Structure 1
């Protein structure tokens, strides 16, 4: 059974979680299991999902309030619901799963709600003022000490870095075009996907030590999302009707992937050897890809010869 378009997708070593926004549910898929995907009702439209080892943090939009729901991906049970003021636009989780970060847009400002799942409390990090401001994406570095916040306003976009220990914004850098997605490699390098009609898609590469842009890589026409290999060598960019496999070293597209319908989201599993693509028809397709290798190693295009379709998400 198909549960409609998928808004977001996240994966780890043992599970894939898809947000079925038209069905008020998420699907938990276990690629190495013969069982059917589990459908977990969430009581509203799920818009974004962040996945740790055994927890999925799901942004749910409902008439009463937006919220972040915590789902145990082993039991498929909703463990907690955190109603939040204002409109929630993105979510990220700390590597240990003890904190979730929810981006919010208020009447005249944007901030990040910090959900401490151990202490069962919610704090706030103020980010920016302005009625037109919105946070389009969040990403936590592998150490858990830095939270990157993508802020778009009527005049451009900025990447803000937050110290997660002090809950204070420390630095920001102007990028211009709207930010569509963020990813952080294992070495802390930040990859920022931007796009607009003038510049088209660009991945800005930022050195976390100097917080300076070190490269700008062309990335499609109007991309909406990306998945990044752990070593930062490959970016899987979701464009209008395909997923482009971009080598960030040579700055070349080494492969393009199409599925049965328009792709909406992509995610890599933790080992980095499986790519999952969700489409507008509600299907999730799995591809075996080359696992992360040293930056000088070429992309193994032959890995795409092995393709296995999963059952439609939400079955």
Structure 2
């Protein structure tokens, strides 16, 4: 008989924490900068701002924590409506998706400096992925409905929401979202009964341009310059990291990881990819496409993020800890010039934000 399906994200994280393996020592080849216990239960997602703060979501506690990225001190614990999961950041703003039995799925905007909730946008359907444009003017929320998927586009400045229709199909869902450095293309990871694909959308016209077939269910996407990294995983092959040339949609490289990975992040100098895989974080060299290291912490890691400016890697786990690692830089940091884009052409259905 199939295992009982958890009814909420909190149930899922509770079970993952309960069956974690024994405590492990940190990999001796990595330099640990520090660790802290947020004391709010399992971490659902993590992000770091350019202003030096870390955001962690805690589905079992209905809260979001704000930490100092340098000292790892907890600066604030903020209650939200429902279970928070995904978090995306831009400058000092954080955007958090939440879900509950009593509230619709929402995207909450948090000022990480003042520790204040600025607004909440209730959204229909289930929000399963979140991303923010490079200029911070738009937040993209991937939504999975009954046989269809779309992306809600929150215009933060105008305080309104538009919709990009993506696809229909039996059992279709959105697994991850990413935006290119110029802010002109949205990359949508979708999976249905036929397999998975990355759908590329022109955000100015809100039209689907083409799709890159992957096959196995997609777990995460990361964009680095003109290259995309797509993480997939299934029982037959395990984890696979696909390297995609964004201009052509061509898969130019594959790294077989095995295991059952769930998330990835690309390092600040773009030479490393960090993949969460059950009880470790696998380190992949993006230059040679070889697995070069593995990091372990005291509990099962749940998510990772990288400081895009100074380079530290932050690993959160199912026990509620955050560990910082110093990451060796092998290439000069490269920064893309972010270009402002015109408003998208979409179905601008007005939706008033709920101001705090």
TM > 0.5 between the two?
yes
Matched, 1:277 2:315: yes
Matched, 1:106 2:145: yes
Aligned to 1:308: none
Aligned to 2:32: none
What are the within-5 Å matches in structure 2 for residues 114-133 of structure 1?
Answer: 114-133=153-172
Instruction: Report how far residue 33 of structure 1 moved.
Output: 5.1
Instruction: Report how far residue 168 of structure 1 moved.
Output: 1.4
Residue by residue, what CA displacement relative to the aligned partner does 1:249-282 show, whole Å, maximum 9, x if unpaired? 2222222111010000000012252000000001
Aligned to 2:34: none
What are the within-5 Å matches in structure 2 for residues 214-233 of structure 1?
Answer: 214-233=252-271
Aligned to 2:40: 3
Match of 2:49 among 12, 16, 23: 12
Aligned to 2:130: 91
The separation in 2 between residues aligned to 1:128 and 1:285, in whole angstroms, is 39
Instruction: Check whether the contact 1:95–1:142 (CA below 8 A) recurs between aligned residues.
Output: yes
Q: Which runs of 5+ in 2 are unaligned?
A: 1-37, 334-356
Q: Which runs of 5+ in 1 are unaligned?
A: 296-315
Aligned to 1:158: 197
The separation in 2 between residues aligned to 1:289 and 1:6, in whole angstroms, is 22
Instruction: Check whether the contact 2:253–2:289 (CA below 8 A) recurs between aligned residues.
Output: no
Instruction: Report how far residue 37 of structure 1 moved.
Output: 2.9
Aligned to 1:81: 120
Instruction: Report how far residue 32 of structure 1 moved.
Output: 2.6
Residue by residue, what CA displacement relative to the aligned partner does 1:76-105 show, whole Å, maximum 9, x if unpaired? 111110000011101000011110000001
Aligned residues: 294
The separation in 2 between residues aligned to 1:33 and 1:241, in whole angstroms, is 25
Q: What's the secondary structure of 1:165's corresponding residue?
A: coil
Instruction: Report how far residue 230 of structure 1 moved.
Output: 4.1
Q: Which runs of 4+ in 1 moved over 6 A?
A: none
Matched, 1:37 2:93: no
CA-based RMSD of the aligned residues comes to 1.5
Aligned to 1:54: 92
The separation in 1 between residues aligned to 2:150 and 2:142, in whole angstroms, is 6
Q: What's the secondary structure of 2:264's corresponding residue?
A: strand
Aligned to 1:298: none
The separation in 1 between residues aligned to 2:149 and 2:203, in whole angstroms, is 17
Instruction: Report how far residue 219 of structure 1 moved.
Output: 2.5
Instruction: Report how far residue 232 of structure 1 moved.
Output: 3.2
Instruction: Report how far residue 174 of structure 1 moved.
Output: 1.0
Aligned to 1:261: 299
Instruction: Report how far residue 292 of structure 1 moved.
Output: 5.7
Aligned to 1:194: 232
The separation in 1 between residues aligned to 2:71 and 2:149, in whole angstroms, is 41
Q: What's the secondary structure of 2:44's corresponding residue?
A: strand
The separation in 2 between residues aligned to 1:90 and 1:19, in whole angstroms, is 14
**TM-score for both structures, normalised by structure 1:** 0.90
The separation in 2 between residues aligned to 1:34 and 1:69, in whole angstroms, is 23
Instruction: Check whether the contact 1:191–1:204 (CA below 8 A) recurs between aligned residues.
Output: yes
Instruction: Check whether the contact 1:240–1:262 (CA below 8 A) recurs between aligned residues.
Output: yes
